Structure 1
Amino acid sequence: MKAATKHLQRRALIQGLGCFSAGLAVAGAAPPPEIADTARPPDVTTTPPRQWGPSAPPSYTPDPDVVVIDRSFRDLLFGAASLHRVWDKGTWLEGPAWSSEGRYLILSDTVTSRQYRYLWETGEVTLFRPESYHANGNCFDYQGRQISCEHFFRRVIRWEHDGSVHVVADHYESRPLNSPNDVVAHPDGSIWFTDPSYGTGFTEGHADEPGGEANPDGRIRWRIGSELIGAIGGTKRQADHTFRVDPSGRIDAVLTQQQLPNPNGLCFSPDHKSLYVISSGRQAGGNGHDGDLGVHVFDVQPDHTLGNPRLFTNMRFQGVQMGPDGMKTDIFGNLWCGVSGPLGLCGVFVFNPEGHLIGRIRLPQGVSNLTFGGPKRNWLFMCAGESLYRLQVNTQGAGSS
């Protein structure tokens, strides 16, 4: 498969059926000439189209793009709040995580291999790490240490309080990892993460050596870029897994590729008795292993294994298969999930603990990942393409970040 095709496939799978599908855009009159150049991207509810950014006029409240499906969702909303685009200078933003000690939000730009920081006091977004080795998912553990998934080195790392880096995991059963994608911390000190293969391409990491699943015919010049760093991560893709790393450092596969193919986003329920995992679509070198684009939930057993597997939601809405990516639970057990799909449907889906869709947040781009932040954890931060959005809510995020 050609490299360009693989990259497009990755984006097509993450974004479901394409967030910018013109066929499902809401019809309406063209915006007046005086705002035609500033009304991009279009809103799905208003004419003229909604404008975004710091120079946009005040929006309506309650926000027309925060859609109540079930009355219970209204209880989770702050009626005077509206959606805001905080920043739009990224390329493909992922892994938002809130630092309670630093009072900032960390986020990764997987394509440009940088990490940025949103400062609570000023609202500025500043460059945090100019080289992140194509980091994707991030979280903060219960000691306030940042944990990141690095695609280029195909590993999970932890930044210690003294500034040193500790490698949490880079191998399983003597084989290198693929490209750790999303990561969550458990109060018992363990670290749980998914290991699909989205980073086994030169856009968000590096390809396999010739003969590997992500470079079977050897056409990709897989070492290009490593001369800038002096090292490279694993060189041959293995099967997908969802892992748990014990505080002792032992790594265990809690889900195999057969049990849940192509794992992507994951999160715990507020009591940590359940683990939600997303099964995404086919990836580079996947050898036909397709996920079902659903959200699955498992019971966390006393011995740290997973049991009672069941489908939480198939992520189909109005006859369209949506593409879930990252998710978080709030303190009441509701699941907030970033989704991609046609314009008008993409954004965030919110499910109650029973798996019923109770509300939606419509954005002009599909949401890759999200988290709750702010000093009270009552601000929802959403990464969508090159942009970071926020919304004040009437609930709080569960977990450490």
Structure 2
Amino acid sequence: MKPANGHLPRRKLLQGLGCLSAGLAATGAAPVADVTENVRPPDVTTNPPRQWGPGAPPSYTPDPDVVIIDRSFRDLLFSAATIHRVWDQGTWLEGPAWSSEGRYLLFSDTVTSRQYRYLWETGEVTVFRPESYHSNGNTFDYQGRQISCEHFLRRVIRWEHDGSVRVIADHYEGRPLNSPNDVVVHPDGGIWFTDPGYGDGFTEGHADEPGGEANPDGKIRWRLGEELIGEIGGNKRQADHTFRVDPSGRIEAVLTQAQLPNPNGLCFSPDHKSLYAISSGRQPGGNGHDGDQAIHVFDIQKDNTLANPRLFTNMRFQGVQMGPDGMKADIFGNLWCGAGGPLGLCGVFVFNPEGHLIGRIRLPHGVSNLTFGGPKRNWLFMCAGESLYRLQVNTQGVAPA
């Protein structure tokens, strides 16, 4: 049900059941062998829908669900590549991150509170951590250490090389964090992360204690689950912030709730002189404030403050407000953004450095987050609902080597 404020709830917005074609109407007829330039084969948006997974028939090339809007997008593609569903046994997948040292893709299932890894050599997906405290965003720093955002414990942590865990941040100005969401690392050793309230609920974390914004009337039994873990994160949320933690451990707010409400995905430009940040929709306990569901960009000053705020893209497409979530930049400065929205529009949106939409990747679910992986960083991995997808591309992602 659409709420009175006119915004789709985040999960409903991101979870599309399929994508309706703006082109070919579904006929249900079997494709013929001699497909010409003017006849598009069935794709994920048709009825019957495109088949995925083991046993599915081979995909057409070029893939009809990799949509070229500007010819510059063609240069970023490997024409013989097709989208593949790698795995579909999750619940709500988030935070994909590539480990160069381990040669695996790490990703979170925020609902089941597990972390998984996709092994490059075998293509197998295995449980990496059976309890991740409802982790969401993940990344690897320039020393190959894993950094994760934990919703249940409302903190950002780093796994050291000896297997120990270091808490990077769990409080700001004496108050607990909300639910750290996305995290990126800078070559100077700084760790940047967003702290909205999407984990302030029992689906992906735990609600506030009675009287908190995510549990104002106290009906939610917010301590349930504590007995299984032995501890619980902060119990009353504060305002949204985007934070930076310097190498000494000092935490500072680089963006306030007023400057960027409901902060979500983060990404640096290839030269690390600009920060892209997503302002997403209303969240649990949001106290009525809404983000604009757009991507904003800021200049990073020498003292790590942000200046010259401007709109990168409003994420409106064909008259529809899309819901951006996670994003990554490639080496040419293009921004690849996962988005949810109405049937037929969900998937990945690709923008050039000037903010112009140059291409799309259509998927049967909204994309929560994505990253570039593989030994050459030329495979795009996309988390979409319960599934993980991949596509080989003709560019490389920007990330620690």
Which interval holds the TM-score relative to the shorter structure? over 0.9
Change (3 A) 1:65 1:55: same
Instruction: Give the CA deviation at 1:54.
Output: 2.1
> Is residue 2:298 matched to residue 1:298?
yes
The answer to whether the 8 A contact 2:373-2:380 is kept is yes
Instruction: Give the CA deviation at 1:46.
Output: 4.6
Instruction: Give the CA deviation at 1:55.
Output: 1.4
Map 1:4-83 → 2, pairs under 5 A:
12-16=9-13, 19-20=16-17, 27-30=25-28, 43-46=43-46, 48-83=48-83
SS in 2 for 1:72: helix
Cα distance in structure 2, aligned partners of 1:50 and 1:196: 36
- Residue of structure 2 in register with 1:397 after alignment: 397
Cα distance in structure 2, aligned partners of 1:351 and 1:319: 17
Change (3 A) 1:17 1:388: closer
- Residue of structure 1 in register with 2:375 after alignment: 375
Cα distance in structure 2, aligned partners of 1:21 and 1:65: 12
Structure 1: gaps spanning 5 or more residues: 33-41
SS in 1 for 2:10: helix
- Residue of structure 2 in register with 1:168 after alignment: 168
Map 1:303-322 → 2, pairs under 5 A:
303-322=303-322
TM-score, normalised via structure 1 length: 0.93
SS in 2 for 1:73: helix
**Amino acid across the alignment from 1:172:** Y
SS in 2 for 1:227: helix
> Is residue 2:85 matched to residue 1:88?
no
Change (3 A) 1:105 1:17: closer
Change (3 A) 1:21 1:347: closer
SS in 2 for 1:353: coil
**Amino acid across the alignment from 1:224:** L
SS in 2 for 1:61: coil
Deviation sequence 1:191-224 (CA, Å, 0-9, x none): 0000000000000000000000000000000000
Instruction: Give the CA deviation at 1:399.
Output: 1.8
Map 1:2-401 → 2, pairs under 5 A:
12-16=9-13, 19-20=16-17, 27-30=25-28, 43-46=43-46, 48-400=48-400
Cα distance in structure 2, aligned partners of 1:23 and 1:391: 21
Instruction: Give the CA deviation at 1:12.
Output: 2.4
Q: Cα RMSD (Å) of the superposition? A: 2.1
Instruction: Give the CA deviation at 1:339.
Output: 0.5
Cα distance in structure 1, aligned partners of 2:2 and 2:367: 22
Instruction: Give the CA deviation at 1:343.
Output: 2.1
Cα distance in structure 2, aligned partners of 1:21 and 1:81: 21
**Amino acid across the alignment from 2:86:** V
SS in 2 for 1:16: helix
Instruction: Give the CA deviation at 1:30.
Output: 4.7
SS in 2 for 1:308: strand
Cα distance in structure 1, aligned partners of 2:180 and 2:253: 13
The answer to whether the 8 A contact 2:14-2:365 is kept is no
Change (3 A) 1:288 1:358: same
Instruction: Give the CA deviation at 1:400.
Output: 1.8
- Residue of structure 2 in register with 1:38 after alignment: none
The answer to whether the 8 A contact 1:157-1:165 is kept is yes
Instruction: Give the CA deviation at 1:31.
Output: 7.2
Deviation sequence 1:95-117 (CA, Å, 0-9, x none): 00000000000000000000000
Change (3 A) 1:130 1:306: same
Deviation sequence 1:178-202 (CA, Å, 0-9, x none): 0000000111111000000000000
SS in 2 for 1:79: coil
Change (3 A) 1:165 1:31: farther
Deviation sequence 1:143-172 (CA, Å, 0-9, x none): 000000000000000000000000000000
Change (3 A) 1:245 1:22: closer
Cα distance in structure 2, aligned partners of 1:219 and 1:27: 48
Instruction: Give the CA deviation at 1:20.
Output: 3.3
Cα distance in structure 1, aligned partners of 2:126 and 2:8: 26
The answer to whether the 8 A contact 1:327-1:371 is kept is yes
Instruction: Give the CA deviation at 1:342.
Output: 1.7
TM-score, normalised via structure 2 length: 0.93
**Amino acid across the alignment from 1:16:** L
**Amino acid across the alignment from 1:365:** H
Change (3 A) 1:23 1:70: closer
Change (3 A) 1:368 1:15: farther
Instruction: Give the CA deviation at 1:10.
Output: 10
**Amino acid across the alignment from 1:313:** T
The answer to whether the 8 A contact 1:181-1:195 is kept is yes
Structure 2: gaps spanning 5 or more residues: 31-41
SS in 2 for 1:350: strand
Cα distance in structure 2, aligned partners of 1:31 and 1:154: 51
Change (3 A) 1:204 1:31: farther
Cα distance in structure 2, aligned partners of 1:104 and 1:96: 10
The answer to whether the 8 A contact 2:21-2:46 is kept is no
The answer to whether the 8 A contact 1:44-1:344 is kept is no
**Amino acid across the alignment from 2:149:** C
Cα distance in structure 2, aligned partners of 1:31 and 1:121: 38
Change (3 A) 1:378 1:131: same
